[in-house]
Structure 1
Amino acid sequence: MVLLAPSISALRKLIGVCEDYAASHRLMYNVKKTEYMVFGVAGKKSPNNVLPISLNGILLKKVTHFKYLGHYIADDLKDNMDIERERRALTVKANMLARRFARCTVEVKVTIFWAYCTPLYAGVLWASYTQVSLRAMRSQYNNDFRTLMRLPRFCSASAMFAEARVDSFMAVLRKRSASMLNRIRGSGNSLLKTIATVIPCEFGAVVVASATW
């Protein structure tokens, strides 16, 4: 469950509503698993002098980042941590595929690479990051394909992808971002349509921020 509020006082009111609902329905929130995060302004980190927030009389822990539906959200709205998460996950998957399918044909390897390494979970939400993080992710994507196909480490990335008819890292990111934007624009939800038309992004993706408590 996630609560999103514009201020500490508003968040306290929302928590109060939850407390009343839980009490009237004989439910209990797990305070140990409940955290809150304060977003910074214009990409800056959140302030430290924040008034305490409690749930059922117990103070909650303030965090600088949290994982929501598998995607890391940071208080400075930077995506570097989530890019690193995806880079590590891609490494694990690629190494596993390289071991298990080492003797398969090129066609089979290309198919499994498409299926397991190109989804880039939550990649369409990346909008604020350092070039160092993105380059590391792109290099990992290229090296994992080389490893799976048993190609020389320093062979041309553009040539190997073109020969195998596989999208490069940037091509995958742009296609998935465009696909997400089209789905949002085609939605019947007026709020989603508004977000799709007013929020620019380098790859055409839309970022919807969340907070936890």
Structure 2
Amino acid sequence: MRRGDGVRRAERPEPLQGLIDRVCGILLSSSAPVMASYMAGQIYSRTARSGRQRLEGETASPPIDAWQRTLSKIKGSDGELAGLMTYLEQIGPYLSWYRSRVGPFASVNFEKSHAHSTILGPGGVEERSDVQLGVTLMAPYCRFPDHFEKQRRVFLFLSAAEACLRDREWMRAEPGTIVFSDAGDKFALRCTSEPVLAVWCQLDDRRR
């Protein structure tokens, strides 16, 4: 992958295809929630055809310390997550980062301590309108605002975190934990001394 190529339609670079393969492979495993596997199957089917690849620089920087700290820790582990992180690190220079607005119960440091990036989807490394796949990064001692999901979404946690779904008890999400949230579900996310890195994906109704 090289910078400056602009928007083009072509075969996917290996890191991008490898990332899609790893994410969908984990979500299609027998240990994944049924709805997460269902969505992964749909995503894998739709991404058989590549979109427009946007190989340009980032628009904002993530919390760099948290990014590098998390990459290094997960890459040093064994299994599927380590392989996934290798591809994510290679794609890293081409990610455009953005931030969410503050909301209910967000930590005071929220604005400066989190970032999102879209890998597949509008404004992503691969521009398309039928699928979204991205990452969320949170620095230590950050809490994401409580919010209601607009669409069905699957989260694959690459590092430890604490999540709360539908106002239930807070759950400990270990690396590799998969959480499915339905449209309309209330969702909350927080972390303590370790940063959070999670992959998320969803289906869009509009086809490109």
Q: Which has the higher contact order (CA 8 A, sep 6+)?
A: 1
Which structure carries more helix by proportion?
1
* TM-score over 0.5 for the pair: no
TM (norm. structure 1) is 0.23
Which structure carries more strand by proportion?
2
